[in-house]
Amino acid sequence: MNYCYIKKILDLYVSIFLLLFLFPFFLIVSIIVYSYSGYKIFFKQPRVGMNDAIFYIVKFKTMLDLRDPLGNPLSDNERLTSLGRIVRAFSLDELPQLINVLKGEMSLVGPRPLLVEYLPLYNDRQRRRHAVKPGITGWAQVNGRNAISWQEKFELDVWYVENQSFWLDLKILWLTALKVIQREGISQNGQATIEKFTGNT
């Protein structure tokens, strides 16, 4: 049987199980984020999925909506709250993406879904990362996450697309758990998260 079909079924049932199992924890984090941010619990943003389809990713909100006098958002480092740093350190902000997995927009494992504005900047090889569903975690996340360059990240994503299997996904999920405990690769050196991708030079 084709692994993509098996993966689709696993994503569905595992996401349902995790949403039910983690519901009390999900509720606690929601209350804490709400009390800290004032009104918004979730952050929603358009991202690129499989075959360049656009969907809205869901995360716990970790940044304030602060803008400069011209109306432009301030840097991530200026908008990231102290609570947000803790939530991101343990990847708790990613939990709501189980809803995206349940809706079939994402998978548990795959290349991370990136900003729509990056679409025109990819070369043909980099665009291959969109041949599969994006994931909550992926091969690039367990091999450096935000601490590696965009080019390295894209190469790891494409390698995953070309080599995905049940055992590789299990390995990635296990390594993800270790990375979360060790809190490795959370941000790029000198950045709150990672610098934006500006294209290939």
Tell me the C-alpha to C-alpha distance, in Å, between residue 180 and each of 4, 47, 85, 127, 172: 26, 23, 13, 28, 12
- Does 68 fall in a domain? yes
- Does 152 fall in a domain? yes
- Does 196 fall in a domain? no
Which pLDDT score, from 0 to 100, does residue 52 have? 96
- Does 194 fall in a domain? no
Which pLDDT score, from 0 to 100, does residue 134 have? 97
- Does 198 fall in a domain? no
- Does 187 fall in a domain? no
Which pLDDT score, from 0 to 100, does residue 62 have? 77
Q: Which helix (H) or strand (E) holds 21?
A: helix 3-21
Residue 1 and residue 5: Cα distance in Å, rounded?
7
Q: Which residues make Cβ contacts (< 8 Å) with residue 59, sequence separation at least 6? A: 42, 43, 44, 93, 94, 96, 97
Residue 109 and residue 157: Cα distance in Å, rounded?
11
Number of domains in the chain: 1
Which residues of the chain, if any, have pLDDT below 50? none
Structural domain including 110 reads 3-182
- Does 22 fall in a domain? yes
Which pLDDT score, from 0 to 100, does residue 98 have? 96
Question: What residues are paired with 67 via a beta bridge?
Answer: 73
CB 133 within 8 A of CB 157: no
- Runs of H (alpha helix) within 92-187: 97-102, 150-163, 166-182
Tell me the C-alpha to C-alpha distance, in Å, between residue 173 and each of 41, 142, 144, 178: 26, 9, 15, 9
Stated pTM of the model: 0.84
Residue 108 and residue 94: Cα distance in Å, rounded?
11
Which pLDDT score, from 0 to 100, does residue 30 have? 86
- Does 197 fall in a domain? no
Which pLDDT score, from 0 to 100, does residue 34 have? 82
